[in-house]
Amino acid sequence: MKNDKSVLGRSFFEHKTVVVAQDLLGKFLVRKIGKNIIAGMVVETEAYVGPHDLACHASKGKTERTKVMFESAGTWYVYMIYGMYHCLNIVTEDKDYPSAVLIRALEPVVIPSLERRGKRGGLLSEPTNGPGKLCRALKIDKKFNCTSAVAKNSQLYFEDRGVKISRNKIVKAKRIGVDYAGKWKDKPLRFYIRGNKFISKT
DNA sequence: CAAGAGATCATCT
DNA sequence: GATGATCTCTTGA
């Protein structure tokens, strides 16, 4: 089915974090704001894979801030960083196991039905090539923290629009901004689509 | 072009 | 009181 669009459900996120991080490439992040819909294709992610991962916020234990990562798969983890930017993560794997995928970059997409009506609503006018920037563009803030991406009526969720990213298009790289994580800082847990123009960094 | 600093605040010690 | 899963602007070679 060419035009088959399906919303990703909980089971999609209940696999190993490194697998989910790669499977999310080519999926679409959809944001509903009132009657407007804006969306982007996921082109870059990072995996934070559990309590033993020193770069994972939850590696220091379960606290008020990190308890979201212990939630069931498909829960949003949104937090503020450096006082000015939000980062968007989707919780993965089993409940009580702290792991998540950070959405680092999107490729802007035009929603045809909105464009036809002459609206600009479908086109992202702000850059989305970085975790802080995409949150600004999609107006994501802490209201989404601890909410579900797999619930009906969610205003923020993923869709599969049939785009398939072949294995050899996926680049593995070390994560960014985690120099404090000791031997974990160089682990190849960042994934992005080879040649895509909307990657946060090269 | 590369490198460095500042902005600014929730969270943890 | 320190620091960070960032971004942008300024400085200087």
DSSP per-residue string spanning chain A: -TT--EE--HHHHSS-HHHHHHHTTT-EEEEEETTEEEEEEEEEEEEE--TT-TTSGGGG---TTGGGGGS-TTBEEEEEETTTEEEEEEE-SSTTS--EEEEEEEEE---HHHHHTT-STTS--S--SSHHHHHHHTT--GGGTT-BSSSTT-SEEEEE-S----GGGEEEE--SS-GGGGGGTTS--EEEETT-TT-S--
Mean pLDDT score across all residues of chain A: 92
Note the pLDDT of residue A3: 54
Q: How confident is the model at residue A125 (pLDDT cuts 50, 70, 90)?
A: low
Question: Whose C1' is closest to the CA of A60: which nucleotide?
Answer: B12
A184 CB neighbours strand C below 7 A: no
In whole angstroms, B9 C1' to A129 CA is 23
Question: Whose C1' is closest to the CA of A80: which nucleotide?
Answer: B10
pTM for this predicted structure: 0.93
Q: How far is Cα A70 from Cα A92, in angstroms, rounded to an integer?
A: 9
**pLDDT per residue as tens digits for the range A44-55:** 999 999 999 999
- Give the mean pLDDT of A167-185: 95
**pLDDT per residue as tens digits for the range A70-93:** 999 999 999 999 999 999 999 999
Nearest protein residue to nucleotide C6 (CA to C1' distance) is A132
Note the pLDDT of residue A35: 85
Q: Which of A116, A119, A129, A100 is nearest to A196 (CA)?
A: A129
Place of tokens 């464009």: A115
